[in-house]
């Protein structure tokens, strides 16, 4: 029997393949693999798998993969589910690790993964985890847990640029590639200032969230401060962790720009419904961390009507938020061209006509005076509701003289810290 530890698991290549799979012996549970590696598989089942309960796994592989097709009986292993989540289609996706596997079956698995027939589907290399200062994110330390983002927001150039850069150098069948966290454990020094999750992905999108939990579990006990921005629902296990280390959370901002289902389905197809995100705010506020919302990007004439803005602010203030960060859409080059083709956005995109100069580049956005008046309006509503308004100064330096902050983070955290020290 071969057994393996976590370090070994990370070294395995992975292929996207579908095979029937069965779990357990007496009351067997059937499903289909989603992808497969030498260390385990992701599987789709009708019912949820119980995590960390050892079980038998039977992979019903086609005989052509066996050394002796006539006697082929597939692969048998012992393993356990390590995570399981409900999908939109009411089925469950689970991550299953092999705990023990006989050498012949392990060899067969390796052949499948490295088979020439499968070459075009193999993604063996993973991007390495890294911490870097991001000019577009207040020059903070920042970490992405995936290259690419499953939320697939139509306007998101940062995640696409990062994914294209990676795919230029590394052939990869998947659109979103989780990072290899191994280098985290070799870090000699922890970052000495706040770390932002995440500049070009969402730290709580499905493929990122377990890695994010692993990262936070390692870095928070070492005293690292985090600021988090997400459009996803943070899993319960991570909420518990954040609660324990709330003194190290500068702020959590949840992205909510519009309540309209059609708008959200078009622009943010992978993001959970807006009403779920609004409800989620209550849970986050209960942790005891400063929670805000982020309207970013705002599409003119789609998102910035008074009714939509006031409704969101009212609902989210009721759920306990303390700040709002809002920034108008800006874009450039082929990203701008692609969005301009969407007939639902024709009017809105006709407003994206003024050159603007975010830090580190040129782009187009709504006219500055239009932006100025809407931000003032937002600032007024926020004052009325007793919360703080800010916008991202990196994206519009000309707004320096305005009465609100151009740092779209919760800087009150440091005042509080000082007061309590
Ligand atoms: S959630 Fe954020 S990182 Fe992900 S696609 Fe949307 S804007 Fe981009």
Per-residue pLDDT of the chain (421 residues; tens, 9 = 90+): 656 565 555 556 666 666 778 888 555 688 888 778 878 888 888 888 889 888 999 887 766 666 665 666 778 899 999 999 988 777 888 999 988 888 888 887 887 777 654 443 434 568 999 999 987 787 899 999 999 999 999 999 989 888 878 766 665 546 788 999 999 999 999 999 999 999 999 999 999 999 999 999 999 999 999 999 999 999 999 999 999 999 999 999 999 999 999 999 999 999 999 999 999 999 999 999 999 999 999 999 999 999 999 999 999 999 999 999 999 999 998 899 999 999 999 999 999 999 887 766 788 999 999 999 999 999 999 999 999 999 987 777 777 778 888 888 888 888 777 777 7
Pairs from 105-108 (Cβ < 8 Å, separation ≥ 24)? 105/75, 105/76, 105/77, 106/2, 106/38, 108/61, 108/65, 108/66, 108/67, 108/75
Q: Please work out whether the CB of residue 145 comes within 6 Å of at least one atom of ligand 1.
A: no
CATH number belonging to domain 132-420: 3.20.20.70
With CA atoms as reference, report the closest residue to 345 among 416, 278, 255, 267: 267
DSSP letter, residue 191: -
Q: Domain 6-123 is in which class?
A: mainly beta
Q: Please work out whether the CB of residue 202 comes within 6 Å of at least one atom of ligand 1.
A: yes
User: From the CA atom positions of the chain, what is the Rg in Å?
Assistant: 24
- Cβ atoms 329, 268 nearer than 8 A: no
Residues for the chain: how many in total?
Answer: 421
Ligand 1 center–CA 143 separation, angstroms: 14
d(CA 3, CA 124): 21
233-258: burial string, b at 16+ Cβ within 10 Å, e else: bbbeebbebbeebeebbbbbbbbbbb
Q: Please work out whether the CB of residue 356 comes within 6 Å of at least one atom of ligand 1.
A: no
Q: Which helix (H) or strand (E) holds 391?
A: none
d(CA 31, CA 173): 23
> For residue 5, which phi and psi values (nearest 5 degrees)?
-105, 180
Residue limits of CATH 3.20.20.70 in the chain: 132-420
Model pLDDT, residue 110: 80
Model pLDDT, residue 45: 87
Pocket test for ligand 1, best of 151, 158, 277 (most atoms within 8 A of CB): 151
Residue having the nearest C-alpha atom to atom 7 of ligand 1: 156
Model pLDDT, residue 119: 41
Pocket test for ligand 1, best of 134, 137, 156, 298 (most atoms within 8 A of CB): 156
SS3 for 100?
strand
User: Within its chain, how far is the Cα of 173 from the centroid?
Assistant: 19
Residue having the nearest C-alpha atom to atom 6 of ligand 1: 153
Looking from the CA of 63 toward its CB, the CA atoms found within 13 Å total: 5
Model pLDDT, residue 121: 41
Q: Please work out whether the CB of residue 151 comes within 6 Å of at least one atom of ligand 1.
A: yes
Residue limits of CATH 2.40.10.220 in the chain: 6-123
Q: Please work out whether the CB of residue 304 comes within 6 Å of at least one atom of ligand 1.
A: no
With CA atoms as reference, report the closest residue to 144 among 200, 192, 205, 215: 200
Q: Parallel, antiparallel, or unpaired for β 323-328 and 291-298?
A: parallel
With CA atoms as reference, report the closest residue to 200 among 167, 233, 153, 253: 153
**Residue 282: other Cβ atoms inside 10 A:** 13
Q: Please work out whether the CB of residue 317 comes within 6 Å of at least one atom of ligand 1.
A: no
Q: Which atom of ligand 1 is nearest to the CA of 201?
A: 3
Q: Please work out whether the CB of residue 149 comes within 6 Å of at least one atom of ligand 1.
A: yes
The single residue listed with the structure tokens 């070009």 is 200
The single residue listed with the structure tokens 């600032």 is 379
From residue 2, alpha-carbon distances to 67, 79, 101 in Å are: 19, 12, 5
**Residue 265: other Cβ atoms inside 10 A:** 11
């Amino acid at each position: 029997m071969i057994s393996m530890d976590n370090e070994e698991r990370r070294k395995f290549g992975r292929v996207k393949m579908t095979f029937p799979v069965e779990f357990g012996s007496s009351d067997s549970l059937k499903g289909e693999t989603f992808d497969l590696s030498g260390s385990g598989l992701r599987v789709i089942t009708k019912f949820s798998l119980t995590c960390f309960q050892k079980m038998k796994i039977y992979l019903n592989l086609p005989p052509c993969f066996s050394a002796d097709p006539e006697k082929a009986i597939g692969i048998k292993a012992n393993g356990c589910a390590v995570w399981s989540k409900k999908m939109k289609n009411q089925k469950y996706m689970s991550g299953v690790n092999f705990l023990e596997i006989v050498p012949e079956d392990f060899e067969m698995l390796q052949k499948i993964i490295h088979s020439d027939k499968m070459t075009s589907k193999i993604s063996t290399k993973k991007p390495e985890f890294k911490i870097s200062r991001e000019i577009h994110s207040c020059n903070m330390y920042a970490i992405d847990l995936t290259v690419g983002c499953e939320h697939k927001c139509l306007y998101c150039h940062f995640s696409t640029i990062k994914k294209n850069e990676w795919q230029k150098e590394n052939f990869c069948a998947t659109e979103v590639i989780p990072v290899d966290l191994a280098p985290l454990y070799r870090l000699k020094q922890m970052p000495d200032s706040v770390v932002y999750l995440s500049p070009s992905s969402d730290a709580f999108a499905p493929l990122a969230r377990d890695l994010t939990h692993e990262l936070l579990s390692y870095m928070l006990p070492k005293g690292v401060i985090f600021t988090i921005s997400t459009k996803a629902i943070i899993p319960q296990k991570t909420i518990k962790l954040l609660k324990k280390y709330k003194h190290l959370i500068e702020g959590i901002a949840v992205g909510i720009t519009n309540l309209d289902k059609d708008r959200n389905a078009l622009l943010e197809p992978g993001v959970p419904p807006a009403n779920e995100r609004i409800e989620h705010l209550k849970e986050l506020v209960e942790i005891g961390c400063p929670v805000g919302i982020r309207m970013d990007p705002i599409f003119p004439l789609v998102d910035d009507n008074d009714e939509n803005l006031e409704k969101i602010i009212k609902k989210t203030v009721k759920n306990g938020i303390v700040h709002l960060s809002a920034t108008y859409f800006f874009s450039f080059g082929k990203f701008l061209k692609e969005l301009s083709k969407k007939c639902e956005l024709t009017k809105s995109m006709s407003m994206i006509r003024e050159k603007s100069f975010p830090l580190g580049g040129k782009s187009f956005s709504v006219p500055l005076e239009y932006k100025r008046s809407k931000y003032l309006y937002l600032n007024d509503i926020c004052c009325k509701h007793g919360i703080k308004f800010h916008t991202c100064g990196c994206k519009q330096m000309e707004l320096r003289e305005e009465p609100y902050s151009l740092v779209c983070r919760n800087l009150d955290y440091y005042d509080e810290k000082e007061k309590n020290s």
